[in-house]
Chains A and B, each alone.
Chain A
């Protein structure tokens, strides 16, 4: 991406990504559900992710009604809440993570978590914890005006999702509202199912590109080296969610290390 596309309004997250993209063709973003199975386990997961040079991590704040998530994350959210994980715990954890690791950290969660604590409080706490932005999939841009405004003053990037069902007009609206990078949802459905990496996805990424100058991350069903090979040259960031948690569930640290080794081989 040409450096001259960077405007003075670029968020710190965008600048970080552009800098990384100068050395690496495809960045990697991963996902951890805070407090599941425990914060100690989360830390070990993050150590492995850092070992393999992950560029960004979403820390999911667990919510009782995760209606956009698939079965694995639904259970993870539920168990994290049963373990007593609160938004305050998640911010405290985020502060430690962002101080210790080289990758950038984002909050991922549902809007009620933000709404209940208050948008201004959320933005202040996120900035204080070293977060760079947030992904809130059930907050449409029409409802996000105030939150996005508050975020700009703190240098936080609201990550907007583009999806294959959006019209061109809608993609333009989404492009105009976005900061940091675009989260391109590879297909219909919830997190965790397989995605066909092919012409349709290629065409969709091109459609997204037409409506933004920001880096584009592709998520939903990205789970193996072949997927990354497909995305390299087409997208800027591969987003790995469920596949990493599946590996951890199967065999803890060893399985997760094997999984990342297979991805980056």
Chain B
């Protein structure tokens, strides 16, 4: 099944979701981008150029790893992991970013802007900009800057300017608004490298196109490693780009696809970012597209929360919203508490350090694996690596040695 065949529907719509809702001033810019992307998508040499770039610059293909210890301990399905944490800059974000770098070059633009939540997309965009020779400005919510300083450090070291967004909730959605404001001003020389499969058409399709490299590889690899297709595939869903990336590899197969959202403090707490699993969201139009948003009855967006900055977002990939309604993708949520326990378990049994975002997918898989038969197979997308989360993780597990180290450093810098 092709997700992006608009022959019998409106272009850029997935069921009722998607579309292009932008200020009139951006019409010409978004049409230029749509045309450029369409040309690239229909040109096989473009995909080959992209794959070659990812092979030589980012170490693709990333492997699939069998988690023998964890599988044995849980006593159910065999668990495999697609290792997007091993890409350059440590997450799947690099796939989309390098692809859009090639698009930006074709557009003849010299400057890129991007929003970032956890900082992984900003970090990846900054490396891409350095590599391609683009000027780069990253918008990041003030709260996210406070919790993801290591990534800010890297972005600035790579030559990007990082702008702290002080409006709204000061997180990812507000950074997206700032990017739109920059873009309506500077569209002539600037490409907006949107980091997830959300926003106005063609972004959901374009980001999915580049992230589909994950699913293409994973399908072949799991057959090689496990001898057959998996029964279930798990991926965390913030905006939903890593999920749609791996899911595309199994769309036509008899494989259950499971998206795992940020359950935060749990259902009914008002402190989560689960749009579909908790049924707290409703359909709306914001940030350039129509989808399920966490919003109140007036249509104003709600506060969201997650231990993982990269999942802390009000809206969801319109393609996934449609696949959820069509019952092709199941949605679950993992709470902060489950995520903390999962990280420790995975580190201790397998020596892997998944990002807090990716731990959501692990948490749900670990919940389901024991109830599955031993000959069944689970594939988890490890969308990123967790060493960026050292401050959050050390904080939540109350590591005394780490606290002492920070205190000593503070004294050192203060003197």
Interface residues in chain A, defined as those with a beta carbon under 8 Å from any beta carbon in chain B: 62-68, 70-71, 74-75, 78, 81, 86-87, 110-113, 115-117, 137-140, 142-143, 160-167, 170, 174, 185, 188-190
* B167 with A111: CB separation less than 8 A: no
Select B173's contact among A65, A78, A110, beta carbons within 8 Å.
A65
* A185 with B173: CB separation less than 8 A: no
Closest A residue to B301 using CB positions: A64
In the bound complex, CA of A164 to CA of B295 (Å): 34
Contacts of B28 in A (CB 8 A): 165-167, 170
In the bound complex, CA of A64 to CA of B298 (Å): 10
Q: Which of B192-217 contact A (CB under 8 A)?
A: none
* A116 with B20: CB separation less than 8 A: no
- Chain B binding site: helix, strand, loop or mixed by DSSP? mixed
User: What are 21 pairs between A and B in contact, CB < 8 Å?
Assistant: A63-B300, A64-B300, A64-B301, A65-B173, A68-B180, A75-B167, A78-B167, A87-B299, A110-B286, A115-B299, A116-B298, A116-B299, A137-B24, A138-B21, A165-B25, A165-B27, A170-B27, A188-B25, A188-B184, A188-B185, A189-B181
- Pairs A-B, 7 closest by C-beta atoms: A116-B299, A189-B185, A64-B300, A112-B299, A163-B25, A67-B180, A67-B177
Contacts of A142 in B (CB 8 A): 20
The reply on B344 being an interface residue by CB < 8 A is no
Closest B residue to A74 using CB positions: B167
Q: Which of B41-79 contact A (CB under 8 A)?
A: none
Give the Cβ gap from B322 to chain A, nearest Cβ, in Å.
Answer: 18
* B285 with A112: CB separation less than 8 A: yes
Contacts of A81 in B (CB 8 A): 300
Q: Which of B338-368 contact A (CB under 8 A)?
A: none
The reply on B168 being an interface residue by CB < 8 A is yes
Contacts of A140 in B (CB 8 A): 20-22, 24, 27
The reply on B19 being an interface residue by CB < 8 A is yes
Give the Cβ gap from A162 to chain B, nearest Cβ, in Å.
Answer: 7
The reply on B297 being an interface residue by CB < 8 A is yes
The reply on B227 being an interface residue by CB < 8 A is no
The reply on B284 being an interface residue by CB < 8 A is yes
Closest A residue to B19 using CB positions: A143
Give the Cβ gap from B270 to chain A, nearest Cβ, in Å.
Answer: 15
The reply on B23 being an interface residue by CB < 8 A is yes
In the bound complex, CA of A142 to CA of B29 (Å): 16
The reply on B287 being an interface residue by CB < 8 A is yes
In the bound complex, CA of A67 to CA of B185 (Å): 12
The reply on B271 being an interface residue by CB < 8 A is no
Complex interface bits, B284-321 against A, C-beta within 8 A gives 1, otherwise 0: 11111000010101111100000000000000000000
Give the Cβ gap from B328 to chain A, nearest Cβ, in Å.
Answer: 26
* B299 with A165: CB separation less than 8 A: no
Closest B residue to A167 using CB positions: B28
Extra 10 A-B pairs, beta carbons < 8 Å, given A74-B167, A110-B286, A162-B24: A62-B300, A67-B180, A68-B184, A116-B282, A117-B299, A140-B21, A161-B23, A163-B25, A166-B28, A189-B184
